[in-house]
Chains A and B, each alone.
Chain A
Amino acid sequence: SQTIHQWPATLVQPVGSPLSLECTVEGTSNPNLYWYRQAAGRGLQLLFYSVGIGQISSEVPQNLSASRPQDRQFILSSKKLLLSDSGFYLCAWSVGYVAGVDTGELFFGEGSRLTVL
């Protein structure tokens, strides 16, 4: 069966420090991978998605970046955190297209709560 792992679960960082959140998926190959951020009152905001190694689409311009160094690994990074980067970050994966149809369902990790002080 497929599983998704996301870490760290909680993180407290000072303003201006770097960030690295990691996500790995097991039990599937060539998944679509996503990073969402959940801030109070703003729902789930899509940050990045990737349909393959090295292929990253950015939905929101900001000081965050994403990388996919391996098929089932997705990393969210920042060189210098801002206070506004605080939030609950969720990694997710989907099967993507099967027989020409986007199966659609996203499977989310347990999330990483980032507090920037």
Chain B
Amino acid sequence: GENVEQHPSTLSVQEGDSAVIKCTYSDSASNYFPWYKQELGKGPQLIIDIRSNVGEKKDQRIAVTLNKTAKHFSLHITETQPEDSAVYFCAASQTALIFGKGTTLSVSS
């Protein structure tokens, strides 16, 4: 089955800096790669996703890149703000979503 590895497990940045989180997946049949943000005590929420026929997707300060040959995808957050502090999960799917272990992002002002 699918296995998703996510790095780093924790990331601390200064407000205004960029943050990058990377994930690799094992199943070449996976074709959907979302990113979720989880705030304390709440369920995760989708922030951006990409499908296997697209290499890059951007939504304001958030972008995701996908390299199907290398089986890795990344989340890029520019101009980070304190409210970006949360746990971020990547996932890969052909049928049901398999998630990475999460990255705790801390943005200090």
Question: Could you tell me which A residues sit within 8 Å of B by CB distance?
Answer: 32, 34, 36, 41-46, 49, 57, 59, 90, 92, 102, 104-106, 108-111
Of B45, B49, B102, the residue contacting A44 (CB under 8 A) is B102
Q: What is the minimal beta-carbon distance from A31 to any residue of chain B, in angstroms?
A: 13
* Residue from A92, A104, A109 having most chain B Cβ neighbours under 10 A: A104
Question: Could you tell me which B residues sit within 8 Å of A by CB distance?
Answer: 1, 6, 9, 32, 34, 36, 41-46, 49, 89, 91, 93, 95-102
Question: What's the A-B contact tally at a CB cutoff of 8 Å?
Answer: 56
Q: How far is the CA of A108 from the CA of B99 in the complex (A)?
A: 14
Q: How far is the CA of A53 from the CA of B93 in the complex (A)?
A: 22
> Do A49 and B96 touch (CB < 8 A)?
yes
> Do B32 and A92 touch (CB < 8 A)?
no
Interface SS, A side = strand
CB-CB under 8 A for A102 and B32, given A108-B44, A108-B45? yes
Q: How far is the CA of A43 from the CA of B102 in the complex (A)?
A: 6
> Do B101 and A41 touch (CB < 8 A)?
yes
> Do B93 and A102 touch (CB < 8 A)?
yes
Q: Closest B residue to A57 by CB, please name it.
A: B96
> Do A43 and B6 touch (CB < 8 A)?
yes
Q: How far is the CA of A88 from the CA of B45 in the complex (A)?
A: 16
Q: What is the minimal beta-carbon distance from B97 to any residue of chain A, in angstroms?
A: 6
Q: What is the minimal beta-carbon distance from A33 to any residue of chain B, in angstroms?
A: 11
B36: chain A residues at CB < 8 Å are: 106
Q: How far is the CA of A101 from the CA of B34 in the complex (A)?
A: 15
> Do A46 and B100 touch (CB < 8 A)?
no
Q: How far is the CA of A108 from the CA of B34 in the complex (A)?
A: 14
Of B9, B45, B99, the residue contacting A46 (CB under 8 A) is B99
B100: chain A residues at CB < 8 Å are: 43
> Do B93 and A44 touch (CB < 8 A)?
no
CB-CB under 8 A for A44 and B99, given A90-B43, A105-B34? yes
CB-CB under 8 A for A104 and B96, given A42-B101, A43-B102, A111-B43? no
